[in-house]
Amino acid sequence: MKMDLTAMGILAPTHALEDCEPTSEEIAQIQCDRLARVRQELARRDIMAAVLFDPAHVRYATGSRNMQVYSSRNPARYVFVPAAGPVVLFEFSGCEHLASHLPTVDEIRPAKAISYYFNEKNTQAVTRAWADEIIDLVRQCGGGERIAIESATAEAAFMLEQRGYQVLDAQEPLEQARAFKVPNEIKMIRSSLRAVEEGVRKLEASIRPGITENHVWSRLHQHIIETDADFIETRLMNSGPRTNPWFQECSDRIIQAGELVALDTDVVGRYGYYADFSRTFLCGAGEASAEQKSLYRMAYDQIQTNMENLKPGVSFKEYAERAWRIPPGYRARRYFALAHGVGMNGEYPYIVHREDIEDKGYDGILQPGMTLCVESYIGHESGGEGVKLEEQLYIRDDGQVELLSDYPFDERLLSQAV
C-alpha cells in the first residue's frame, strides 16, 4: 500500500536508470562540486584550511573510500583541504594507489598515524611531526591562523595551538556544505535507496515464525555488500515485546507468529550515501490485532502529516508546531526527532518535537537542496508492541518535494484500523 502522493503535493519516487545512476562524467563532476562546497564554507568563515579525519567527510570532499569503519575510530588517514590551494590526501600506509585517479586530489602522501595505539611512547613525537607537515602546507597556501580539524586526537589540536594557530571545529562548515546537495548528487542517493529497498524485500521475505532476529537482519547485510554498499550503522531491528521501547538492538530472540517486526535501515550504501527508512511488518500469515492496527495507523498518520508539512521556507519551529499531535500515553516514548537531514549519513538539521524545542531544539529554514528523513515511532508508555516508520525526501531546487524512499506499507496492518 502506498500514500496518495498527488493529494499530498509530493512527487513520486523515480526508478528510471538515468535518474538513479550517475555516469562516470557526472561522478567526477559531483566530486569536484562537493569539494567546491567545502572550500566555499571554509572561506565564508575565514578558515585557511581543514584537516578532515571523519571517513564520511574525507569521502565527501575527495570521493576517496578506504577502510571506512576502521578509520572511524583510528586517525590513520586524513585529508588537508585548503580554502584555496592543493588538496593533499594522507593515505594509510600502502594504500596510496587507491585514490590516484581522483580529480579532487592534487597529492597523496603516507599518513602519520597519530594515536597511542600506533606509537605508544612515541605518540608526542609523531604528532609533532604531523603538526609540522600541516603547518608547512598552510604556509604553502598563503598562511593564516585559523585551521579547522575534526575526529583527530586532543594532542593534535594542542600541537597546533602551541604553534600559535586558532583551532576550530570543522564539523560546522562540513555539515553546512553537505546539507545542500550539488547537481546530480541526488542520483547517488536514489541509487543507494533502490539497492537497499531490494535488500529489505529479501529481509521481509525471510521473516517467519521460529527464526531469530539476527538471522533476518543478516539478509540485509548480505545484500548491501553484494550491491557495493559500505555498512549498516546500527542494529535496529526487533520483534514482539522488544519493539517497545524503541532502540532495542537486534538479538538472537526467536520471532513468533503474529508479532510485529520493526526496523530502521541506517545503511551507508552505494557511493557512500545513507539509505534511511523504517518499516514495521507482521510475522506469519494471520491477521493483525486491533491494537497492532491502531499503532500502525497512528504512525502512518504521523508520517503522512509531517511529510505534507515539509515545504521550503518553513522554519524548523514552524514545522514542529504544525506536526501531527501524538496522543497522550504515547508522547513519553516519541522518537527524539521529527525530521533530520540525510546525505552520507545523518546530518544537519535535526528538527525536534514542539515539546523539546526550548530544551533541545534550534531554529533554521527548510531550503531547496536539502534531503530529510521524516520519522515516527509509536509505542505506549505502559508497554506492548511499537511501530517504527520513516521516509526519506528531497526538497528540489524548484521547490517541489520528492519522495526518495519507495517501500510499501503493510496492508494487513494499515487496513480497517480502529
| DSSP 8-class letter at 82 | E
- Alpha carbon distance 178, 157 (integer Å): 24
Helices (H) and strands (E) in the chain, counts: 15, 18
pTM: 0.96
- In sign, the C-alpha dihedral spanning 135, 87, 37, 154 is negative
Listed residue (184, 94, 88) closest to 130, CA to CA? 88
- pLDDT given at position 38: 98
- pLDDT given at position 116: 83
- Alpha carbon distance 295, 301 (integer Å): 10
pLDDT of 323-346, one tens digit each?
A: 999 999 999 999 999 999 999 999
pLDDT at 417 over 70: no
Percent of the chain whose pLDDT exceeds 70: 99
- Alpha carbon distance 264, 142 (integer Å): 47
- pLDDT given at position 418: 43
Mean pLDDT, the chain, integer: 96
pLDDT at 1 over 80: no
Q: Are 253 and 213 in contact (CB under 8 A)?
A: yes
Phi, psi of 105 (to 5 degrees): -110, 125
Distances (CA, A) of 172 to 52, 312, 351: 12, 22, 17
Secondary structure (DSSP) of 217-256: HHHHHHHHHHTT--EES---EEEGGGGSSS-PPP-SPBP-
- Alpha carbon distance 185, 404 (integer Å): 13
pLDDT at 359 over 80: yes
Beta bridge partners of 272: none
pLDDT of 365-374, one tens digit each?
A: 999 999 999 9
Listed residue (338, 328, 333) closest to 307, CA to CA? 338
* CB contact set of 351 (below 8 Å; sequence gap of 6+): 316, 319, 320, 337, 338, 339, 340, 361
pLDDT of 160-210, one tens digit each?
A: 999 999 999 999 999 999 999 999 999 999 999 999 999 999 999 999 999
- Alpha carbon distance 391, 217 (integer Å): 20
Mean pLDDT value of segment 306-323: 97
Beta bridge partners of 267: 232, 275
pLDDT classification of 117: cutoffs 50, 70, 90: confident
- Alpha carbon distance 48, 278 (integer Å): 41
- Alpha carbon distance 47, 148 (integer Å): 7
Let me know the angle formed at the C-alpha of 378 by 375 and 382, rounded to the nearest 5 degrees: 150
pLDDT of 40-72, one tens digit each?
A: 999 999 999 999 999 999 999 999 999 999 999
- pLDDT given at position 261: 98
* Half-sphere exposure at residue 344, Cβ-oriented, CA atoms within 13 angstroms: 20
pLDDT of 234-278, one tens digit each?
A: 999 999 999 999 999 999 999 999 999 999 999 999 999 999 999
Phi, psi of 209 (to 5 degrees): -60, 140
